[in-house]
Amino acid sequence: FGSSHLVRSHSSLARIAPALCAMAPRSAPRSRAVAPGLLVLAALAASLVYLGSLGPAYSVKGAWQGQPSTLKDTVKGDFGSVMEGLEPKVSFPPIAYHREGVALSVEDGRLNADYTAKLDGDTLLQLRMNDEQEWRASLRGEDASLRVRGQGADLDSLSWEAAQSSSVEDVGDVKVEFNSDKEYNLTVVREMLARIAGAELDAKVRATNAGVTGRLGARRELPGGVEASYSVENPVGVYDLASSTHRGRLSAAVAGGEAVLQVEGDASSQAYEGSYARDLQGGRAGVRLSHRDGALGYNVSYARDFDGVLDGDAGVHIGIDEAGVYGKVTASREVGQGLGADYEASARFETGEERRLQLQHALKLSNKLGYAQLAHGSGEAPRLRVGYEFN
């Protein structure tokens, strides 16, 4: 496998590499202009109505956030703080022209030129250059790929990555990756290594510049619908069994739900977790108990959506964990004339030494052109956020 397979890998890559030679992209100057203010916003809105019928539309948006008391300044004629946030931010649409493997496009204000060609039955050449002299090229075949990046004709900026994949009989799925920084990854995966006493074994080995890591796994169906799995894996370059990570998992269907027990750790520390979840009264109930780093954790929760039950969409999520009691309520509905209302409230009562209550709630009104949101939380001043977006 070792020498003969790598020879085949390099010969396959060598077959497609010459097509990436002699690339010397040219740059095109790029200019930007930014014009803030209400007059420009009105002009943009008028032009977008016209351009919308010609093709992809622009997206224009802006937002301001602050304390409601700030709006007192607008009554006195001072619009500065508000208008700075509401200045329009324009997102230009992607525009592209394609013909016989050649493409010109504008994305995020940048001009790109693309060329695509099929060299043979399974090898595709792709080249992209932009107006900042950045270029990248790739050759992709059925089992091999080569990617090259650069900046103009500067050879010092040149970088490349190559990969080769194959399936080797009696070995497994093999993938080798290497790059211009002399980094490499050699990965061998065997999904079905063997079957012993009803258990299916799998394995994965990965070799890198830092060393080798390997994982051996086993899984088996037990009586009563119980599924069991186990794996052991060493850190990269560490070959001490005591440092390897062991993972075990048991799962089973119990009383209409699923119970799971998981164990993970090495010779120095272990973590345990047990959980159970099932559907209950139109919602989802769950309980979790864990022990990690010497600390006990737990969580009991229930969540339910009331979509279709109430007038509008609504949901509730309540629970208790090692830090305290928590809950969250969400609701939304149409209030007429294209106006929608969204409300969200959350609360947490910490049961530790401080025993404090934290509340957060927000109300948002919105339509197709803009929105206004008022939010308030424990120990915070109310916050008002207004914004718009149209295309």
- CB atoms closer than 10 angstroms to residue 46: 10
Closest CA to 184 of 201, 167, 165, 206: 206
Tell me the CB-side half-sphere exposure of residue 50, using CA atoms within 13 A.
4
pTM, two decimals, is: 0.69
Sign of the alpha-carbon torsion through 92, 338, 374, 361: negative
Tracing tokens 């932009």 back to the chain, one arrives at: 130
168 and 174 Cβ atoms separated by less than 8 Å: yes
Q: Which residues, 6+ apart, have CB-to-CB distance to 295 below 8 Å?
A: 322
Read off the pLDDT band of 57 (50, 70, 90): low
Q: Which residues, 6+ apart, have CB-to-CB distance to 189 below 8 Å?
A: 172, 173, 202, 203, 204
Say if residue 283's pLDDT is above 90.
yes
Q: What is the mean pLDDT of residues 327-340?
A: 92
Which tokens belong to 268? 């120095």
280 and 295 Cβ atoms separated by less than 8 Å: no
Alpha-carbon span 275 to 285, nearest angstrom: 11
Alpha-carbon span 233 to 212, nearest angstrom: 11
Closest CA to 259 of 274, 281, 238: 274
Beta strands in 92-143, from DSSP E residues, in sequence order: 95-99, 102-107, 110-118, 124-130, 134-140
At residue 49, the pLDDT reads: 40
183 and 209 Cβ atoms separated by less than 8 Å: yes
Say if residue 75's pLDDT is above 50.
yes
Say if residue 357's pLDDT is above 90.
yes
Tracing tokens 């619908």 back to the chain, one arrives at: 225
At residue 41, the pLDDT reads: 41
Q: What is the mean pLDDT of residues 261-282?
A: 96
Alpha-carbon span 315 to 301, nearest angstrom: 14
Closest CA to 94 of 102, 106, 103, 104: 106
Q: What is the mean pLDDT of residues 305-321?
A: 88
Say if residue 39's pLDDT is above 50.
no
Closest CA to 148 of 120, 123, 128: 128
At residue 175, the pLDDT reads: 97
pLDDT tens sequence across 110-135: 899 999 999 888 899 999 999 999 99
367 and 339 Cβ atoms separated by less than 8 Å: yes
- Rg over alpha carbons for the chain, rounded to the nearest Å, is 30
Say if residue 4's pLDDT is above 80.
no
Q: What is the mean pLDDT of residues 134-145?
A: 95
Give backbone dihedrals phi and psi of 353, rounded to 5 degrees, phi first: -65, -35
Alpha-carbon span 259 to 250, nearest angstrom: 8
Say if residue 144's pLDDT is above 50.
yes
Instruction: Return the percent helix, strand and coil in the chain, to nearest 5.
Output: 15, 60, 25
pLDDT tens sequence across 360-373: 999 999 998 889 99
Read off the pLDDT band of 69 (50, 70, 90): low
Characterize the bridge pairing of strands 295-305 and 102-107.
unpaired
Top-confidence residue, 307 or 206: 206
Q: What is the mean pLDDT of the chain?
A: 83
Alpha-carbon span 111 to 29, nearest angstrom: 10
Closest CA to 252 of 281, 223, 232, 273: 223
Helix (H) or strand (E) holding 2: helix 2-16
Top-confidence residue, 137 or 92: 137
Q: Which residues, 6+ apart, have CB-to-CB distance to 154 below 8 Å?
A: none
What whole-number percentage of the chain has pLDDT above 90?
61
160 and 180 Cβ atoms separated by less than 8 Å: yes
At residue 109, the pLDDT reads: 77
314 and 293 Cβ atoms separated by less than 8 Å: no
At residue 13, the pLDDT reads: 47
Say if residue 330's pLDDT is above 80.
yes
